[in-house]
Amino acid sequence: MKVKDRMSEDVITVEMNTSLTEAFRLMKENNIRRLPVMDKGRLTGIITLTDLNQAAPSSATSLSIHELNYLLAKTKIKDIVPKKQKVLTIGPENYIETAAKIMRENKVSGLPVLEQEKLVGIVTETDIFDALIDILGVNRAHSRIDCFVKDRPGSLAEVTGLIAEKGINILNAVVYFDNKSQRYKMILRIEDLKYELLLEELQKRGYEIESVIVKESGEE
């Protein structure tokens, strides 16, 4: 899955001369926490709700409401954006896991998407979570089987072949190294809610079952 499959294309932006009042309004009305900053059609920065709150007068100020509103309207985005802000971006053809890695390593919650230096979208942590939920088929009725597999070639092929023999559809299969147990673990999600025969066959072939969960349609 690529960034272009999950990004929001209708990006709400601000200009350098946008007031803090307007920036606050845009975030509140659109339920967003970040705004790309544009200057003559080019991305020059990104401002977050935290940035705006830090730039706004403290709630403990002695200023009147009228004075506060005047100050917010007078202060511009250019007054609070760092002069040489490094803006992390990503391309639409990059994979969604690349976006997740950049966000995690840099502790940011969103990335503007650029194509040939043109802003074409934005991808956020919510988009990443939604993609993960869809990829794993979490919202569909399924049986989930967690088991440990031996570190040898053909383990995944053996399990998927066994499932095919039983006439069961696989929603997804994930194999990863579990640092806690120091072993490889496989997570299987299958459409059939009657998993008992498959479970029995897996155990016969030496697969250690860690857990089984059945999710009915509509369950949270």
Span 20-44, average pLDDT: 92
Residue 23 has pLDDT above 80, yes or no: yes
Q: When comparing pLDDT for 193 and 170, which is higher?
A: 170
Residue 220 has pLDDT above 60, yes or no: no
Within 8 A by CB and 6+ apart from 55, the residues are 20, 75, 79, 80
Residue 145 has pLDDT above 60, yes or no: yes
Query: How would CATH label the architecture of 3-132?
Result: Roll (3.10)
Domain ranges of the chain: 3-132, 137-215
| Domain 137-215 CATH class label | alpha beta
What does the DSSP assignment read for 33-102? SEEEEEETTEEEEEEEHHHHHHHSPPTT----HHHHHHHHHH-BHHHHS-TT-----B-TTSBHHHHHHH
56-73 per-position pLDDT tens digit: 766 556 665 666 666 777
What does pLDDT average to over the chain? 87
Percent of the chain residues topping a pLDDT of 70 = 92
What are 21's two structure tokens? 């009042």
Residue 210 has pLDDT above 70, yes or no: yes
